[in-house]
Amino acid sequence: QQKVQQSPESLSVPEGGMASLNCTSSDRNFQYFWWYRQHSGEGPKALMSIFSDGDKKEGRFTAHLNKASLHVSLHIRDSQPSDSALYFCAANYNQGKLIFGQGTKLSIKP
Amino acid sequence: GGIITQTPKFLIGQEGQKLTLKCQQNFNHDTMYWYRQDSGKGLRLIYYSITENDLQKGDLSEGYDASREKKSSFSLTVTSAQKNEMAVFLCASSRQDQDTQYFGPGTRLLVL
């Protein structure tokens, strides 16, 4: 069964610092990786997707994919208190079906 | 832009009860999804639908039924609520499968 493993489970970063989140797929037959963010009491919102090796940057967020190691990471620079949330990695293996990781709880300390 | 509306926001049920959750979207998206989110776990797919009257089972479909009578709405039924069950049910939609999924705010279920 395809699985997505995220680490760490929780992370605390000072305001203005860099937050780094990790995700590994159990199966190399993925098409896309997605990063979603969920604030308390809300549904998840998509941050970005990546399917090519290398970096993809959107504002303060950079995703890095290494297909050979089945690993994707998300880096948030200049972290803000509003970045405190639950972050999910998800992989597209089959059409329309996303497999989500367990999530990383990020706390930004002022 | 668009919005996904889920009703009710909170649902308290009794063991063995049949419970129905509703989802409406005005994105005019073809594909809709139902996920379950438990504390400490990621989202798990219950059912999805790629078009009106279509239903596809996810990994967690046992104990649930779904219905997509029209493009804009997708309902989920818990066929027999389990005692002490507590979870958030999230509805999502996307233009087509593999596109960005947009989520509603969720329905919080508690079974006494």
Burial class (CB in 10 A: 0-12, 13-18, 19+), B5: middle
Say whether pLDDT at A59 is over 80. Answer: yes
- How distant, in Å, are the alpha carbons of B12, B36, B77 from that of B112? 7, 18, 17
Average pLDDT score over residue span B89-104: 92
pLDDT value at residue A95: 63
- Chain A contact for B98, CB < 8 A? yes
Core vs surface per residue A38-60: b (16+ CB within 10 A) or e: beeeebbebbbbbeeeeebeeee
The pLDDT of residue B38 is above 80: yes
Residue A91 predicted with pLDDT over 70? yes
Rounded Cα–Cα distance for residues A70 and A56 (Å): 16
What token pair was written down for A36?
A: 């979603």
Round the average pLDDT of chain B to a whole number and report it: 94
**Closest residue, chain A, to B50 (C-alpha):** A96
Q: Which residue of A has its CA nearest to B47?
A: A97
- Residue in B42, B50, B97 closest to A102 by CB: B42
Q: How far apart are CA B50 and CA B38, in angstroms?
A: 25
Q: What are the phi and psi torsion angles at A6 (to 5°)?
A: -110, 150
Put simply, the answer to whether B102 touches A4 (Cβ < 8 Å) is no
Give contacts of B35 with chain A, Cβ < 8 Å: 100
pLDDT for the residue B75 = 98
Residue in B31, B43, B105 nearest the CB of A100: B43
pLDDT band for position B30 (50/70/90)? very high
* Beta pairing class for A54-58 and A61-66: antiparallel
Strand ranges for B8-106 from DSSP E: 10-13, 19-25, 31-37, 43-49, 56-57, 64-70, 73-78, 86-94, 102-103
CB pairs under 8 A between A and B: 55
Closest CA to A4 of B43, B102, B89: B43
Q: Could you say which of A42, A88, A95 has the minimum Cβ distance to residue B42?
A: A88
Chain A interface includes B49 (CB < 8 A): no
Sign of CA dihedral B51, B56, B58, B61: positive
CB burial of residue B35 (10 Å; 0-12, 13-18, 19+): buried
